[in-house]
């Protein structure tokens, strides 16, 4: 099961949602899949929560200039029972100060800040992998858990004018990593992305919504809407805590930059050509490269690599 919730929506200024849905964190993760800029989110999504079970209040104030989302979640992810008595708080505040100023160059500017906080008390931290290729680039030694708090915070901005759109976000996660008697408190993970898109066929860019082709397919020789896009992104984790964990427990896989398995550094770029034949359909053709800061990626004895390239073709339908 993915999304399953009930919603009470009495006014634009206040609504209430309860069930399983996406936490309000990382715009690239929460935007609906057919409206994304690329077939897969950037590596920054690996630090963001996704669907969870909880309750959230949200709304827009002052003629949509301010948007808020505040939720209370299990903190265990999709289709998972809560493993402790503590919950996670999650919230996002969005400012769109020029939304009512028609013709203003910053009318579509959105600036936002976001965060989550919760006590995990023995929760696990999954291995980190690339969403576009599935390559695991950083895994914790076996039996490593989050001892106490896990916090995430970040922010970003979106802007569109005519056929052009720009987006960027930076997020940080801090977690107390514990394995037996060894503790690495407040271990830091950072990730970010910046993207740009340009519609070649005369449409206006849309933030978080579908593009309506000027000449949709099937009508008087229409070719749909065509867009070119590019994105750069990165991931960084503190190296020393992982090195310490491995040094203490030599029998575990070594997630360090020592040439023995995985990396605390990722740099990636993606380019794409995207086609919207009609408003309810979108085709992604993306090409990209992921570079890892270790000598090798993957279990010893397997196909080891420091750099990978990929092509993705994806079709999304909205009905």
pTM of the complete model: 0.88
Q: Indicate the DSSP class of residue 28.
A: H
Give percent above pLDDT 70 in the chain: 86
Q: Are 168 and 196 in contact (CB under 8 A)?
A: no
pLDDT, position 140: 74
**For residue 138, what pLDDT is reported?**
82
The whole-angstrom separation of Cα 119 and Cα 152 is 12
The pLDDT, as a whole number, for residue 225 is 95
Statement: residue 105 has pLDDT above 70: yes
Residue 251 banded pLDDT, cuts 50, 70, 90: very low
Q: How confident is the model at residue 257 (pLDDT cuts 50, 70, 90)?
A: very low
The pLDDT confidence band at residue 301, using thresholds 50, 70 and 90, is very low
Total tally of structural domains belonging to the chain: 1
CATH of the domain at 229: 2.40.160.10
pLDDT at position 79, please? 67
How far apart CA 51 and CA 1 sit, in angstroms, is 10
Residue 121: per-residue pLDDT: 75
What digits encode the pLDDT tens for the residues 58-91? 999 999 999 999 999 987 777 666 666 678 999 9
Q: What confidence score (pLDDT) does residue 55 get?
A: 96
Phi, psi angles (nearest 5°) of residue 234: -155, 160
Over residues 130-176, the pLDDT tens digits come to 999 988 888 777 777 787 788 999 999 999 999 999 999 999 999 88
The pLDDT, as a whole number, for residue 95 is 98
* Containing structural domain, residue 241: 4-317
Q: What is the helix (H) or strand (E) element at residue 89, kind and residue range?
A: strand 88-95
| Mean pLDDT along residues 32-37 | 86
User: For the chain, what is the total number of helices (H) and then of strands (E)?
Assistant: 2, 15
Dihedral sign of CA atoms 194, 256, 46, 114 in order: negative
User: What DSSP string describes 98-161?
Assistant: TTTSTT-TTTT-EEEEEEEEEE-SSB--PPEE-TTT--EEE-PPTT-EEEEEEEEEEEEEEEEE
């Amino acid at each position: 099961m993915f999304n399953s919730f009930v919603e009470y929506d009495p006014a634009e200024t206040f609504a209430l949602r309860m069930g399983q849905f996406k936490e309000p964190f990382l715009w690239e993760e929460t935007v609906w899949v057919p409206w994304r800029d690329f077939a897969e989110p950037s590596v920054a999504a690996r630090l963001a929560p996704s669907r969870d079970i909880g309750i959230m209040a949200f709304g827009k104030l002052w003629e949509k200039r301010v948007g808020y989302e505040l939720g209370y979640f299990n903190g265990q992810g999709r289709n998972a029972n809560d493993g402790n008595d503590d919950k996670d708080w999650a919230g996002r505040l969005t400012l769109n100060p020029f939304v009512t100023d028609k013709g203003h160059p910053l009318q579509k500017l959105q600036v936002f800040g976001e965060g989550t906080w919760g006590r995990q008390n023995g929760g696990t931290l999954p291995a980190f992998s690339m969403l576009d290729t599935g390559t695991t680039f950083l895994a914790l030694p076996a039996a490593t858990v989050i001892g106490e708090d896990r916090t995430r915070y970040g922010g970003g901005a979106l802007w569109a004018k005519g056929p052009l759109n720009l987006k960027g976000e930076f997020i940080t996660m801090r977690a107390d990593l514990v394995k037996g008697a060894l503790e690495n408190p407040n271990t830091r993970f950072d990730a970010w992305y910046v993207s740009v898109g340009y519609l070649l066929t005369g449409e206006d860019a849309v933030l978080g919504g579908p593009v309506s082709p000027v000449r949709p397919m099937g009508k008087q020789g229409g070719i749909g809407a065509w867009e070119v896009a590019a994105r750069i992104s990165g991931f960084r984790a503190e190296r020393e805590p992982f090195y310490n964990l491995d040094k203490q427990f030599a029998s575990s896989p070594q997630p360090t930059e020592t040439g023995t398995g995985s990396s605390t550094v990722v740099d990636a770029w993606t380019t794409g050509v995207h086609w919207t034949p009609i408003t309810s359909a979108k085709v992604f053709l993306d090409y990209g490269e992921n570079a890892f800061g270790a000598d090798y990626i993957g279990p010893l004895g397997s196909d080891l690599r420091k750099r990978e390239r990929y092509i993705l073709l994806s079709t999304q339908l909205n009905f």
